[in-house]
Amino acid sequence: MKEFWERLGYYLVGIVDAVGHKGGIWFLSANLKFSCKILWAMNQCVTLEIDGGGRRWICSAVYGSPQATNRVELWSHLLDIGLCIQDPWVVVGDFNDILSVHEVKGEAFVEVLSCSHSDHCPLLIRCQGVPIKKGNRPFRFQAAWATHPDYKAIVQKSWDSTGFGIHRKFLGVQEASLEFNSTVFGNIFIKKRELEGYLNRIQRKMEADDDPILKHKEEELRAEYNIVLAQEELLWYQKSRDQ
């Protein structure tokens, strides 16, 4: 990963390793003129002293635990830092928590940039200026897409037909996946409700008419419904971050 970021023009300043699929913080810099020194690090936060341009300031990068009991340790850590420093201090990242907008102090604003190399969006902090409109919704690969018989061919075609460079190929697959989701795969929950309605109507007809055509149609709908249920299970499994 270090070599990957260096090829993109960034160098590694500080790191907190992930535990399985959870957590993890990479602190990168694109400006070699700035001096960066790690002051404190814990599993949800890494804090650096940044010196450059005639100014010195403190930056804490946060990836808060999704479990509230674990975030207590983070809040305590940040309070301790606040008591130890005198320089300007910015705290940025994913807190996995919601605070009141009335608690915001300063004239600093955060712009959510479009994601390109990851499924996480970069955050750009502007210390002066006006509020910035939030960026586009980040791309999320849906594991349920892989259950559709046409999806593999769509990915392969996009990968082969897109220009040179891994980045451009991934963007091509991303665009093709979103188009596939919109025009072919559709909304799982809407499809589920529609199939439930079709099954209900077919089964009511079967109560009055023992037609083999109706029975065959019900079997087809049941098979399609089971596929949608499996896709829905994959979707919730992916959202739950379950390992």
Q: CA nearest 144: which of 227, 240, 243?
A: 227
What predicted TM-score, i.e. pTM, was given to this entire model?
A: 0.44
Q: Are 87 and 51 in contact (CB under 8 A)?
A: no
Q: What is the pLDDT of residue 47?
A: 92
Asked if residue 243 has pLDDT above 50, the reply is no
Backbone angles phi, psi at 37, to 5 degrees: -135, 130
The domain segmentation of the chain, as residue ranges, is 2-98, 143-185, 188-239
Rg of the chain in Å (alpha carbons): 25
Residues 26-79: pLDDT tens digits? Answer: 788 877 778 888 899 888 999 999 888 778 889 999 988 888 888 899 999 999
At the top level of CATH, the class of 2-98 is alpha beta
**Chain-centre distance for alpha carbon 227:** 26
Percent of the chain with pLDDT over 90: 7
3-class secondary structure, 5: helix
- Token pair, residue 4, equals 């990957």
DSSP codes, 28-59: EES-TTSEEEEEEEETTEEEEEEEETTEEEEE
Q: What is the pLDDT of residue 132?
A: 43
**Spatial CB neighbours of 38, under 8 Å, sequence gap ≥ 6:** 13, 14, 46, 47, 48
Q: What is the pLDDT of residue 127?
A: 67
Q: What is the pLDDT of residue 60?
A: 92
Q: What is the pLDDT of residue 76?
A: 92
**Strands, DSSP E only, in the chain?**
11-16, 25-29, 35-42, 45-52, 55-63, 89-94, 109-112, 123-126
Name the DSSP class of 241.
T
Calpha distance 135→114 (Å, rounded): 6
Residues 182-209: pLDDT tens digits? Answer: 877 777 888 888 888 888 888 888 878 8
Q: What is the pLDDT of residue 77?
A: 92
Asked if residue 120 has pLDDT above 70, the reply is no
Asked if residue 131 has pLDDT above 50, the reply is no
Among 18-22, 112-116, 161-165, name the most confident range: 161-165
Q: What is the pLDDT of residue 130?
A: 46
Mean of all residue pLDDT scores within the chain? 79
- Token pair, residue 243, equals 């390992």
Confidence of residue 118 (pLDDT cuts 50, 70, 90): low
Q: What is the pLDDT of residue 158?
A: 87
Region of poorest pLDDT, from 44-53, 128-137, 223-232? 128-137
Asked if residue 164 has pLDDT above 80, the reply is no
3-class secondary structure, 16: strand
